[in-house]
Amino acid sequence: MATLDEWTAAACEALGLSGPDTPPVREVLDLAREAAHQVARPAAPLTTYLLGVAVGRGADPREAAATLTALARQWPAGSEPAAGTSADAAG
């Protein structure tokens, strides 16, 4: 995990983040894993991006990650995305 810790520190420094802005790494990684496995692989980066948007708007990072993790865990297995929401529709 040393590489991840180093990357996180370098990314935070590059973005001017410190102190309370330091990300809850374990929660974000758990969220990405749940979204990838329970929803769909492309849901991992999208879900973590949405977490960042929510945090940027004032949400508590750990609470928002917990909310999204619970949502992913409840997601029906084998669900197909609604029309117009797939990655193909965006391109």
The DSSP annotation for 25-49 comes to HHHHHHHHHHIIIII-TTHHHHHHH
> What does the pLDDT read at residue 36?
96
Query: Tens-digit pLDDT profile for the chain (91 aa)?
Result: 689 999 999 999 999 988 877 888 999 999 999 999 999 999 999 999 999 999 999 999 999 999 999 999 999 976 655 545 554 444 4
SS3 at position 84: coil
Q: Which amino acid belongs to residue 72?
A: A
Domain boundaries, the chain: 20-72
CA distance 42 to 39: 9
